[in-house]
Amino acid sequence: MGYKGLKKVDIIFDCANCEPLEVLKKALAMTPDQIIEQIISSGLRGRGGAGFPTGLKWKLAKAEKSDVKYVICNADEGEPGTFKDREILDVVPSKVLVGMAICAYAIGAKEGFVYLRNEYNFLLKDLNPLIEKFNKNIQNLGLDFTIKMFSGSGAYICGEESALFESMEGKRGEPRNKPPYPTKIGYNGKPTVINNVETLVYCTMIIRIGVEPFKKLGTSDSRGSKVFSISGDTTKAGIYELELGIGVDEFVKEFGNGDTKAVQIGGASGFCVPRKDFKNKIIGFEGVPTGGSMMIFNSSRSMYNVLKDYLEFFAEESCGQCTPCRVGTQQLLKGIEAIKRGEKPSSYLNQLLKLTETMKVASKCGLGQSVQNSFSSIVNNFREEMIY
């Protein structure tokens, strides 16, 4: 494991010498295959949380034979503790749009959408005119591509890519069965690349600065840097771009308030790292992956309350279609409450841990599959707090 010290990076928000349209011109001078090759060799993995290799996603979409393809920017940022996409769209929106245009050119899409979380609609007053202008600019560059805004419909689950398509198609936001994957059958049944806001900016920046400066950051499995949303018991709450692969202890040293008991990495669907593991865990795909959410808890916090909070969130935000997730989330919540009240023996926690295993292997989408992450990492590390 490539343990790294903490290193602040400035790629995403860096605007020096970066005229986004110039980057697009540079990309258009390359062939689509060259672009995809660069993104692949950069090692960039999706920054929404799941970490699918971005270049491969583009390559798969390019290989599909279809007159109609789509590029969708997933700006339905909903993971508890994540607020970096909002900042990116607020501060460097042009870089996001350029990323979409580069992708469109690479895969052969003519239409793109930004699926914006409903709560972020206040961004529209700036984004709408910007997109209008951008669409004209790229037409002038000879690229047949148009971006439209789509205001989301308010559910956490719509951030799941296939539920997002359903939502865009005017249906109930429920995840689809996979396969087929979006690169084959996505929005409107057409090949679609759907990337997180941050991922698209990295694509823009990889084209601008080249593969090497990006690649030399991070570790072999987690190339580059990442934007983190830092919150909780910290005096430095906010948005930071850090190199991937840093040790959790380094992170806590920088951002903790001296009494950090645990860090929840990756939001409600991520992992809880307790103090005893700070030293031997790194932040990255080979360690603890994250879509950016970093919640810091100090000793005054009840991890029971933290977990209960997450479970209430899941029981509410599950779409409700599949059994393991709909009923499982309710059982976990009711179960820890019953244990706390003494109505169930503490051994019932083991039954609940087994249940999360079923949810992990049998749920239809990532929501139900990842409930185990926070549940087992909190229960196993703070078992006493669950019971007493």
Partner 1 sequence: MSIINLTIDNKKVSIEKGQTILDAAKKVNVRIPTLCHHEDLCVAGNCRVCVVEVEGSKTLSASCAVPAEDGMVVKTNTPKVRNARKDIVALLVSEHNTQCTTCYRSMNCELQALSAEYNIDNNRYLSVLKPNIEIDRSSWSIEKDDSKCVRCQRCVRTCAELQHVNALTVSGKGKDMKISTFMDLPLNEAICTNCGQCVIHCPTGALTERRYFDRVWEAIGNEKKHVVINTAPSVRVAIGEMLGYPVGSRVTGKMVTSLKRLGVDSVLDTDFSADLTIVEEGYELLQRLRKALVENDTSIKLPMITSCSPGWVKFIEHIFPEHLGHLSTCKSPQQMFGALSKTYYAEKKGIDPKDIVSISIMPCAAKKFEANRPEMNDSGYRDIDAGLTTRELGHMINQAGLNFAELEDSEFDSIMGESTGAGAIFGATGGVMEAALRTAYELVTGRDVPFDNLNILPVRGMEGIKEAAIKLENCLPDWSFLEGVELKVAVAHGLINARKIMDQVAAGKSPYHFIEVMACPGGCIGGGGQPIPTNDEIRKKRAEAIYEEDMNMPVRKSHKNPEIIKIYKEFLKEPLGEVSHRLLHTSYKKRNHY
Question: At closest approach, how far in Å is the CB of 328 from partner 1?
Answer: 6
In this complex, which beta carbon is closest to partner 1, that of residue 167 or of residue 229?
A: 167
Nearer of residues 41 and 323 to partner 1, judged by Cβ? 323
Q: Which residues contact partner 1 (rule: CB under 8 A)?
A: 155, 157, 172, 177, 179, 314-324, 326-331, 334-335, 338, 344, 351, 354-355, 357-358, 360-364, 369
Phi, psi angles (nearest 5°) of residue 172: -65, 135
Q: Taking the complex as a whole, how short is the minimal distance between the CB of residue 319 and partner 1, in angstroms? A: 5
Nearer residue to partner 1 within complex by CB, 329 or 377: 329
Question: Shortest distance, CB of residue 269 to partner 1, whole angstroms?
Answer: 14
Of the pair 45, 84, the CB lying nearest partner 1 is at: 45
Of 283 and 367, the one with the shorter C-beta distance to partner 1 is 367
**Count of alpha carbons within 13 Å of 220, Cβ hemisphere only?**
2
Q: Please name every residue paired with 296 in a beta bridge, in sequence order, or none if there are none.
A: 232, 263
Nearer to partner 1, 79 or 243 (CB): 79
Strands 70-75 and 192-196: parallel
Widest Cα–Cα separation across the chain: 69
Helices (H), 256-347: 303-317, 323-340
Minimum CB–partner distance for residue 334 and partner 1 (Å):
5
Nearer to partner 1, 253 or 334 (CB): 334
CA–CA separation, 383 vs 34, rounded Å? 52
Residue 53: CB atoms within 10 Å? 16
266: left (phi over 0), alpha (psi -120 to 50) or beta: left
Cα 2 versus chain centre, distance: 22
Nearest-approach distance from CB 189 to partner 1, in angstroms: 14
Report how many helices (DSSP H) and strands (DSSP E) the chain contains, helices first.
15, 9
The per-residue DSSP string of 2-35 comes to: --B---B--SSS--TT--HHHHHHHHHTS-HHHH
Residue 279: CB minimum distance to partner 1, A: 28
72: nearest Cα among 57, 83, 86: 57
The DSSP secondary structure of 145-187, one letter per residue, reads -EEEEEE--S-GGGGSHHHHHHHHTTS---PPPSSSPTTTS-G
Smallest gap from Cβ 20 to partner 1, in A, equals 37
Distance in angstroms between the alpha carbons of the first and the last residue of the chain: 37
Least separation in angstroms between residue 127's CB and partner 1 is 27
CB nearer partner 1, residue 32 or residue 267: 267
Nearer to partner 1, 174 or 233 (CB): 174
Q: In angstroms, what is the minimal distance from the CB of 362 to partner 1?
A: 5
In contact, 113 and 70? CB cutoff 8 Å: yes
